[in-house]
Amino acid sequence: MTGQIVIAGAGVAGATAARTLRTAGYTGRIVLVGAEDCAPYRRPMVSKDLLAGTRTADRSFLEPEKHWAENDIDLRLATTVTDIDTERGRVWLSDGAVLGYDSLLLATGARARRLEQHPPVRVRTLRGVADIAALREAIETGPLLIVGAGLVGLEVAATARGLGAEARVLNAAAGPLDRVVPQAISAWVQDLHAEHGVRIDNEVRLAAVEQIDAHGVLATATDGRTWTASSALVAIGAEPDTALARTAGIAVDDGILVDEQYRTSAPGVFAAGDAARRFTAHRGRHERGEHWNSALTQGAEAAKSILGQPVTDIEIPWGWSTQYGVNLQFAGWPQPHEELIIRGSLESRNFTALALSDSTLVGAIAVGRPKDLRAARELIATRTALPSTEWADESLDLAELVQPHSHARR
Ligand SMILES: Cc1cc2nc3c(=O)[nH]c(=O)nc-3n(C[C@H](O)[C@H](O)[C@H](O)COP(=O)(O)OP(=O)(O)OC[C@H]3O[C@@H](n4cnc5c(N)ncnc54)[C@H](O)[C@@H]3O)c2cc1C
């Protein structure tokens, strides 16, 4: 195939797609357009090593900088795709260039969600390397008030404590990480933070977060409670970056809608990563992930789909988080009401929690047991059902239950 493929977004999904197109033998032009001014990097490091200052941005690159030119990938940084003509197959770039395409991949990712009111100077968000310096300064000035107890908020709390700063978390939900883990694990996460001196106040409905003067912020809850701090981080989740797709008339609904082969509603236009909401036959509906490995795999699969190679894998979402040196991995769709079996013990920080729905494994959370988590992903994909007593039986190695030809992503 010759011609030109344009990729909007040089995060992990876009960069992996570009790389995969080349390794799969595509010989046409590849233009990878990225709004950030830094080569594709490992975003999960932003709230961990990069914020802590234990690693510099150039040590977080997905590939050495010369990789892109060496592989004949035209990487255009600090440039955005501003418009698409889906009928003629053309895009406009912020530097004035107009490019034709045979296929276009939208890998525009997500943006940090903000509070409704315009955020004042001392109220930050964290999404990329450009946000680090200001947040780091806020941590050093301390104390820091963190709004939101999702992955990013909790990781920043842990990093701030590691730097010796004070941090406090205000959470709208009943417990931390409630979107990805069941209640028992959420309580365990709460204790982990308490042990390191971080208090998480749950079920806080905030009315406003304001800057009171040059040195501080004030958060006010709807029930009248108030909190003050030097600065605040708003970490209340991410919103898929769908503006470009929507303007071009491409179907969007909490993400750019794609079928199993990553095709959007416009011919020749594909989407992958945090920006995309993909239909999966396994679940019978569209779903959107916000995890590194999902974005990476989706980028590779979308590239193959662009080249006409059908995608057959079953997507089991999985991710990880590191807080205070503890690595927590999670997979599937653990729901609060499902039966939870704990293998190992929460106290020892070495456990696998299995979420069952009618004896079928639907989700897993592991601390210190990556092998179990790998096996659990396969077992979720194959909808493995066992009596609870067997799931709880530690003498039964989860890896041994995996069918040799399971189709889950590895
Ligand atoms: C601080 C932080 C920590 C995280 N930690 C973890 C973790 O520990 N584990 C985990 O599993 N996941 C983690 N994640 C989530 C993970 O990083 C994301 O799921 C993943 O980066 C998504 O990749 P993506 O390529 O789809 O989108 P993004 O990484 O968002 O990249 C999209 C890129 O496209 C650019 N862009 C947008 N619009 C345009 C346009 N019109 N033209 C050109 N470029 C455009 C954006 O600027 C961005 O550079 C973390 C996320 C954050 C923010």
Q: How far is CA 29 from the centre of its chain?
A: 29
Distance CA 348, CA 223 (A): 38
Average pLDDT over residues 160-178: 96
For residue range 171-210, list pLDDT tens digits in order.
Answer: 999 999 988 899 999 999 999 999 999 999 999 999 999 8
Atom 5 (ligand 1) nearest CA: 44
CATH for the stretch 4-111+239-306: 3.50.50.60
Query: Is the pLDDT reported for residue 282 higher than 90?
Result: no
Q: CB burial class (10 A; 0-12, 13-18, 19+) of residue 398?
A: buried
Structure-token match 């510099």, residue found = 56
Q: CB burial class (10 A; 0-12, 13-18, 19+) of residue 387?
A: exposed
Tell me, in angstroms, the distance from the centre of ligand 1 to residue 290's CA.
Answer: 8
Q: How far is CA 58 from the centre of its chain?
A: 21
Helix (H, G, I), strand (E, B) or coil at 251: coil
CA distances 260 to 9, 153, 303, 305, 375, Å, are 20, 32, 13, 9, 24
pLDDT at 113 (0 to 100): 94
pLDDT at 212 (0 to 100): 87
pLDDT at 34 (0 to 100): 98
Distance CA 78, CA 74 (A): 13
Determine the residue type at 221: A
For residue range 321-365, list pLDDT tens digits in order.
Answer: 999 999 999 999 887 777 999 999 999 999 999 999 999 999 999
pLDDT at 136 (0 to 100): 97
Tell me, in angstroms, the distance from the centre of ligand 1 to residue 274's CA.
Answer: 7
- Atom of ligand 1 at shortest distance to CA of 289? 19
Distance CA 94, CA 248 (A): 16
Decide yes or no: CATH 3.50.50.60 for domain 114-236. Answer: yes
Q: Which residue has the higher pLDDT, 361 or 312?
A: 361
Given pLDDT bands bounded at 50, 70 and 90, which one contains residue 406? Answer: low
- Atom of ligand 1 at shortest distance to CA of 321? 8
Domain boundaries, the chain: 4-111+239-306, 114-236, 325-401
- Atom of ligand 1 at shortest distance to CA of 33? 43
For residue range 100-128, list pLDDT tens digits in order.
Answer: 999 999 999 999 999 877 667 788 999 99
Distance CA 139, CA 51 (A): 10
Q: How far is CA 65 from the centre of its chain?
A: 23
For residue range 212-268, list pLDDT tens digits in order.
Answer: 888 899 999 999 999 999 999 999 999 999 999 999 999 999 999 999 999 999 999
Fold matches, 114-236 and 325-401: no
Atom 51 (ligand 1) nearest CA: 44
pLDDT at 313 (0 to 100): 73
Tell me, in angstroms, the distance from the centre of ligand 1 to residue 139's CA.
Answer: 23
Query: Is the pLDDT reported for residue 2 higher than 70?
Result: no
Distance CA 230, CA 185 (A): 31
CATH architecture, range 325-401: 2-Layer Sandwich (3.30)
Backbone angles phi, psi at 52, to 5 degrees: -70, -20
The DSSP annotation for 309-367 comes to -----B---EEEEEETTEEEEEEE---TTSEEEEEEETTTTEEEEEEEETTEEEEEEEE
Neighbours of 224 (CB within 10 A): 7
Distance CA 139, CA 315 (A): 37
**Ligand 1 site-directed mutation target among 20, 46, 104, 108, most atoms within 8 Å of CB:** 108
For residue range 143-154, list pLDDT tens digits in order.
Answer: 999 999 999 999
Q: 82: part of which helix (H) or strand (E)?
A: strand 81-85
Given pLDDT bands bounded at 50, 70 and 90, which one contains residue 404? Answer: low
The residues near 308 (Cβ < 8 Å, ≥ 6 apart) are: none
Using DSSP bridges, classify how beta strands 73-76 and 29-33 pair: parallel, antiparallel or unpaired.
Answer: parallel
Query: Is the pLDDT reported for residue 298 higher than 80?
Result: yes
Distance CA 18, CA 73 (A): 7
Query: Is the pLDDT reported for residue 409 higher than 70?
Result: no
